[in-house]
């Protein structure tokens, strides 16, 4: 009998291995020893980028995240997608007139996350601003995976599941949520939830979950919402955690932090500018690969997600501007409150009119976003504060970034023209930073003088 050459047998064997590793659709089959965690944090209600600086690129956008994950999962079918909390809003309180649009945005975000894919979201304190009951309604309506191991109701009962177990290949991944029990977070949880929620001791909660997951999970991930130093404490004092995905303070880690060879810590920054991708090899070496992907112009926008956001924009437009004449800026021809300031400060008013602040509302109108409360906060005078711009009346005399945005409420000053009635005579860069955050204006920190010179008068 003629023998088959050994090298041919090796070639056939290699071909069989390749065929087993590639699915019929051309994608690579899951490696049973590998688990990929794609993570984000501190989305704060941002579905797409928002920035003040003239630049060719703004990072972020859920439509870019969707595109990246669509491509990534073709070769990594067992990917787990998580978020460490503060998903829905960045506002500490929401005025009654704004609440309908805030809830509309929350639902849009959950719909998009479900469309993209989501396995677990830890609850942050800002997620409670619209009420515990409302968050539970959202979780039920969208079958949304909110989790928290130490967020309890008035009766001490856990409000959301403490953890989930996700199967990837032949591995089980346990994921639990944790919110800080120190600093100002416990107080904010009680304040935002109107006493309907409180925080229990974090280390005890984490230890309890780890004990339950023993024998059930091959890899354990903690989604935390706390200051970065607390992640170190959890990693050192709670044995059994493999990966901590941190959030709350908006820090970003380029490389995972190894805590005494016990756990690795990663943090994704804020508002979806970067997408964290952590691939753990659970084989003998327990190695990992990690990158934080900038969601910039090189990542295409998925049309389906763009359409969902534009549908939200249109609903908000109809909610607050349904009677507006199409294509006509409602601020056109309005007599601004700052004109009264010009009675005595004519030169300063003339200078202001040359700045971007004097047409801040117009930039929203051009994008058809001039009825979006989340944008109007920084494009009108004292938004939803006493005597300021509000969504019920929408007084056009208070659009743009006028004098009182920086100098404070001038009602008493304009009534008496008394110098001692000016709340803030000399604004500083800190006043600018209320809206010109590092996210919206990255060069503000190192270029404060440049910013102030633009508006100096």
DSSP string covering 18-73, please? Answer: HHHHB-TTSPBPPPTTEEEEEEE---TT-SS----S--S-----HHHHHHHHHHHH
pTM, entire model: 0.88
Q: What is the pLDDT of residue 325?
A: 75
Asked if 379 and 297 sit in the same domain, the reply is no
**4 has a pLDDT exceeding 50:** no
Asked if 113 and 202 sit in the same domain, the reply is yes
Asked if 400 and 299 sit in the same domain, the reply is no
Count of domains forming the chain: 2
Q: What is the pLDDT of residue 15?
A: 43
Q: What is the pLDDT of residue 412?
A: 86
Asked if 288 and 370 sit in the same domain, the reply is no
**132 has a pLDDT exceeding 50:** yes
Domain membership flag for residue 347: yes
Q: Which of the residue ranges 52-56, 184-188, 318-322, 347-351 would you say has the lowest mean pLDDT?
A: 52-56
- pLDDT tens-digit series, residues 139-178: 999 999 999 999 999 999 999 999 999 999 889 999 999 9
Domain membership flag for residue 7: no
Strand blocks (E) in 268-331 = 274-281, 288-294
Boundary of a domain, candidates 255, 280, 303: 303
Q: What is the pLDDT of residue 434?
A: 83
Asked if 146 and 254 sit in the same domain, the reply is yes
Residue predicted with more confidence, 6 or 297: 297
Domain membership flag for residue 10: no
Structural element, H or E, at residue 220: strand 219-225
Boundary of a domain, candidates 303, 319, 348: 303
- pLDDT tens-digit series, residues 347-366: 999 999 999 899 999 999 98
Asked if 342 and 282 sit in the same domain, the reply is no
How far is it, in rounded angstroms, from Cα 404 to Cα 391?
18
Closest CA to 158 of 106, 198, 102: 198
Q: What is the pLDDT of residue 50?
A: 86
Q: Measure CA 277 to chain center.
A: 17
Asked if 389 and 430 sit in the same domain, the reply is yes
Give the dihedral of Cα atoms 246, 64, 91, 439; nearest 10 deg: 80
Asked if 246 and 132 sit in the same domain, the reply is yes
Q: What is the pLDDT of residue 323?
A: 67
CA angle 279, 302, 116 (to 5 degrees): 50
Mean pLDDT of the chain: 88
CB 130 within 8 A of CB 80: no
Domain membership flag for residue 328: no
Domain membership flag for residue 18: no
Q: Measure CA 74 to chain center.
A: 26
CB 297 within 8 A of CB 57: yes
- pLDDT tens-digit series, residues 27-74: 445 467 889 999 999 999 999 998 776 666 789 999 999 999 999 999
Domain membership flag for residue 412: yes
CATH of the domain at 355: 1.10.1130.10
Asked if 283 and 351 sit in the same domain, the reply is no
Asked if 279 and 341 sit in the same domain, the reply is no
How far is it, in rounded angstroms, from Cα 258 to Cα 15?
39
Asked if 101 and 192 sit in the same domain, the reply is yes
Asked if 127 and 244 sit in the same domain, the reply is yes
Q: What is the pLDDT of residue 178?
A: 98
* pLDDT level of residue 440 (50, 70, 90 thresholds): confident
Domain assignment of residue 49, given as a range:
24-303
CATH of the domain at 218: 3.60.21.10
Domain membership flag for residue 261: yes
How far is it, in rounded angstroms, from Cα 156 to Cα 267?
30
Q: Which of the residue ranges 73-87, 314-328, 381-395 would you say has the lowest mean pLDDT?
A: 314-328
The structure tokens listed for 139 are 């979780």
């Amino acid at each position: 009998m003629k023998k088959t050459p050994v090298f041919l047998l090796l070639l056939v064997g290699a071909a069989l291995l390749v065929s087993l590793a590639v699915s019929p659709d051309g994608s690579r089959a899951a490696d049973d020893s590998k688990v990929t965690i794609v993570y984000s944090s501190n989305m704060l209600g941002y579905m797409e980028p928002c920035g003040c600086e003239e630049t060719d690129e703004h990072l972020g956008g859920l439509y870019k995240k969707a595109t990246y994950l669509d491509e990534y999962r073709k070769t990594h079918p067992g990917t787990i997608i998580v978020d460490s909390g503060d998903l829905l809003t960045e506002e500490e309180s929401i005025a009654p007139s704004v609440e309908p649009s805030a809830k509309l945005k929350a639902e849009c975000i959950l719909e998009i996350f479900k469309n993209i894919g989501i396995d677990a979201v830890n609850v942050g304190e800002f997620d409670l601003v619209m009420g515990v009951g409302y968050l539970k309604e959202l979780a039920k309506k969208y079958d949304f995976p909110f989790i928290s191991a130490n967020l309890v109701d008035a009766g001490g009962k856990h409000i959301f599941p403490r953890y989930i177990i996700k199967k990837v290949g032949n591995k089980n991944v346990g994921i639990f949520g944790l919110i800080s029990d120190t600093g100002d977070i416990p107080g904010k949880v009680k304040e935002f939830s109107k006493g309907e929620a409180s925080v229990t001791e974090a280390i005890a909660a984490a230890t309890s979950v780890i004990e339950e997951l023993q024998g059930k999970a091959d890899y354990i991930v903690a989604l935390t919402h706390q200051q970065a130093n607390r992640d170190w404490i959890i990693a050192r004092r709670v044995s059994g955690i493999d990966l901590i995905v941190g959030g709350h303070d908006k820090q970003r880690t380029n490389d995972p932090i190894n805590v005494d060879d016990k756990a690795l810590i990663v943090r994704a920054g804020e508002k979806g500018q970067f997408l964290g991708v952590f691939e753990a090899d659970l084989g003998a070496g327990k190695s990992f690969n990690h990158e934080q992907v900038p969601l910039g112009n090189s990542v295409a926008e998925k049309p389906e997600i763009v359409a969902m956001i534009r549908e939200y924009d249109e609903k908000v437009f109809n909610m607050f501007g349904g009677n507006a004449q199409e294509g006509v800026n409602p601020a056109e021809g309005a007599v601004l409150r700052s004109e009264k300031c010009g009675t005595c400060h004519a030169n300063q008013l003339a200078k202001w009119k040359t700045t971007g602040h004097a047409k801040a509302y117009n930039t929203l109108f051009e994008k058809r976003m001039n009825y979006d409360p989340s944008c109007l906060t920084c494009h009108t005078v004292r938004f939803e504060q006493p005597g300021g711009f509000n969504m019920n009346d929408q007084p056009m005399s208070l659009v743009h970034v006028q004098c009182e945005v920086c100098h404070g409420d001038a009602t008493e000053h304009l009534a008496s023209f008394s110098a001692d009635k000016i709340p803030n005579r000399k604004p500083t860069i800190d006043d600018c930073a209320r809206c010109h955050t590092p996210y919206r204006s990255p060069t503000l920190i190192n270029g404060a003088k440049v910013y102030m010179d633009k508006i100096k008068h």
